[in-house]
Amino acid sequence: MIRDFIISIAVSLMALLAGCIERPSNVVNVNEMPPIYPDYIGVTIPAGIAPLNFAVEGSTAVDITVKGSNGGEINANGKFAKFDINQWHKLTDENKGTKLTVSVCAKVDGRWLQYDDFDIYVSQYPLDQWGLTYRRIAPGYEVYSKMGLYQRNLSNYEETPIIENTQTSGECYNCHTSNRTDPEQFVFHVRGAHGATMIQQHGQREWLKAINDSLKGAMVYPYWHPSGRYCAFSTNQTRQGFHTVPDERIEVFDLSSDVLVYDIERHEILLDSLLSTRDWSENIPTFSPDGKWLYFTTCRQKSYPLEFKDEKYNLCRIAFDADSRSFGTEVDTLFDAVSMGKSVTWPRPSYDGRFILFTLTDYGYFSIWHRESDQWLLDLQTLEARPLDAINSDYADSYHNFSDNSRWIVFTSRRDDGLYSRLYLASVDEHGNVTKPFMLPQSDPTAYYGKSLYSFNTPDFTKAKVDFDKNSAVGEILGDKRTETKIAK
């Protein structure tokens, strides 16, 4: 193993000296698709995305050609397919709405093999987003080491921390949520000794006391009202159970939960009897893009952990009047999952108001620990819902969000190795048709994902790079100066 290490360094140095180029010779055609990682065969991408670098499994060298239907050609040669960023951007821009054809020649067991070509489709829909925000954390039980909130430029591979817990005393940061992908307004939670809910608006930060004593727990799962004045939360008494059988791991259930809306201007919490019922758990609120509806999930309260498999949520909505700060008097059921014996979680409306993307599980709402979790799309015009087979996998597919123009989604999936969730992007057209998703590109995907012991979660698009003064924020976190919230009369 040390010998291998030394040899690999020596080989790398020699390759460097030789100009890193190994050209194919005596090529043998194999009539099969190349075994590439990540699987980018047949995926649809936005123009301007970072190059989809990939490796061919079992190969020691590759020679790749990418040709655009509208013209243009780029090459990559080396240990894996690593494309020049500028050339790739030019090629995808020139081929918007058409496709790129990828020709893969790889050296496997000393022989050069020519695989069948495959296509990558360049969508006609622009991404119109700077990048992504997400949390990176080890998929643990009760303990986490280094973690943080990060942002990633989607046109290249630059990842920068928004905040990491190495800056404080090991706090947990979660649920970073911006208002319709605009980083001028965002919220996240700090958990731990210096707990708080942070709201930043136009560069000004406010740290709310983590728990209002009148509520059942901390405010969690935020979602902005499009006006930017309100933020919906739920407040949950969450517990965990740890399975003993091989195929299950963690179960999350709430002893109770309610939905509330926080008025940022007045520091007041708006409650409603229909959103904080005694026998039902209301959870995971989101506003409609016009701000007139509050979507949430609701479940008849059971005795947990005994009846954890009976924790099943429906998708509902209630009217919300931002001017009078009042809720409607009726709750509509938009999707009755319970009658299917299933449970709805993480509803996220498209910003054009046409769809709601949600996750469907057998029970519960913490879908990341449910292997059967799949993505479903509800058409708000017809109120018909269907599974998105093109993006679903055998592992948990969950946590999703739309891009600002509603033509792209980002979601997490454990399909890569069964435990560590990764980010995937897919295109959605006006009719709700989705394309095969592609894993978030990395400069060296095998090294990045192979060595990473982190899961990505709560991803969202961001219009621009998040401007967050980490050093001042750290002082404020440790300073423990918090704004009290009060219940609106």
Partner 1 sequence: MDKIRYVIVSLLLFVAVWLFWWIGYPQMLSYQEQYQLFLFTSSYFAERIGMVGGLADYVSEFIVQFYYIPVIGAAMLALTLTLMQVLVGAYCIRMCDGRATRLSLYIISAIPTIEMLHFMGDENMLLSYPVAIVITLAATLLMRLADTRGWLYLSVTAVVYIPLYWLVGPAAILFPILTILQSTSVRRKWLWTAASLAIACAEVVIIANTVCRQYPYEQLLMGINYYRISNVHPEGLFVVAATIIILPFLRLCLRRISPKHLYPVTFIFMLAAIVQVPSGFDGDKMEIFRYDAMVRNGDWHGIIAAAEKRRPVNDFCLQGLNLALAKTGQLGDKMFEYPQTGINSLIAKRELDNTTCLIAAEALYHLGMINTAFRYNFDTQEAIMNDRKSGRFMKRMAECMIINGRYDVASKYIDMLKNSMFYSKWANEADKYLNDEEAINQHPDWGEKRRIRFRQELFYDYNEIEKVLGLLALESNGQNLLAWDYFNAALMLKGDLPTLCGMYHYAPETFHLTEVPKHIQEAIALYWTMGHPSFDGLPYKVSDKVKMRITKLAGIYAQNPNNPEAWAKDFGDTYWAYFLLKQQQNQQNPSTDSQSGSQREG
Q: Where do contacts with partner 1 occur on this chain (CB under 8 A)? A: 1-2, 4-5, 9, 138, 140-146, 161, 164, 166-169, 239-249, 251, 305, 417-420, 447, 450-451, 453, 470-471, 474
Q: How far is the CB of 412 from partner 1 (least distance, A)?
A: 16
Would you say 304 or 408 has its CB closer to partner 1? 304
Q: How far is the CB of 232 from partner 1 (least distance, A)?
A: 26
Q: How far is the CB of 190 from partner 1 (least distance, A)?
A: 16
Phi, psi of 418 (to 5 degrees): 90, -10
Would you say 244 or 303 has its CB closer to partner 1? 244
Q: How far is the CB of 449 from partner 1 (least distance, A)?
A: 9
Name residue, tokens 């005393």.
169
Would you say 137 or 425 has its CB closer to partner 1? 137
Would you say 141 or 429 has its CB closer to partner 1? 141
Would you say 160 or 326 has its CB closer to partner 1? 160
Would you say 141 or 381 has its CB closer to partner 1? 141
| Dihedral of alpha carbons 134, 139, 143, 145, sign | negative
The two three-digit tokens of residue 137, written as one number = 């954390």
Q: Are 151 and 132 in contact (CB under 8 A)?
A: yes
Q: How far is the CB of 292 from partner 1 (least distance, A)?
A: 38
Would you say 182 or 308 has its CB closer to partner 1? 308
- Collapsing DSSP to helix, strand or coil, 16 comes out as helix
Q: Which helix (H) or strand (E) holds 379?
A: strand 374-379
CB atoms within 10 A of CB 384: 11
Alpha-carbon distance 43 to 390, whole Å?
Answer: 10
CA contacts within 13 A on the Cβ side of 173: 30
The two three-digit tokens of residue 92, written as one number = 């995808």
Q: How far is the CB of 199 from partner 1 (least distance, A)?
A: 23
Beta bridge partners of 425: 410, 438
Q: How far is the CB of 5 from partner 1 (least distance, A)?
A: 4
Q: Which helix (H) or strand (E) holds 290?
A: none
- Write the CB contacts of 139 (distance below 8 Å, at least 6 apart in sequence): 368, 419, 420, 421, 455
Alpha-carbon distance 450 to 484, whole Å?
Answer: 44
Alpha-carbon distance 169 to 475, whole Å?
Answer: 12
Would you say 147 or 294 has its CB closer to partner 1? 147
Q: How far is the CB of 252 from partner 1 (least distance, A)?
A: 9
- Distance from the Cα of residue 193 to its chain's centroid: 27
Alpha-carbon distance 251 to 244, whole Å?
Answer: 11
Would you say 20 or 419 has its CB closer to partner 1? 419
Name residue, tokens 């980083």.
183
Q: How far is the CB of 421 from partner 1 (least distance, A)?
A: 12
CA contacts within 13 A on the Cβ side of 439: 25
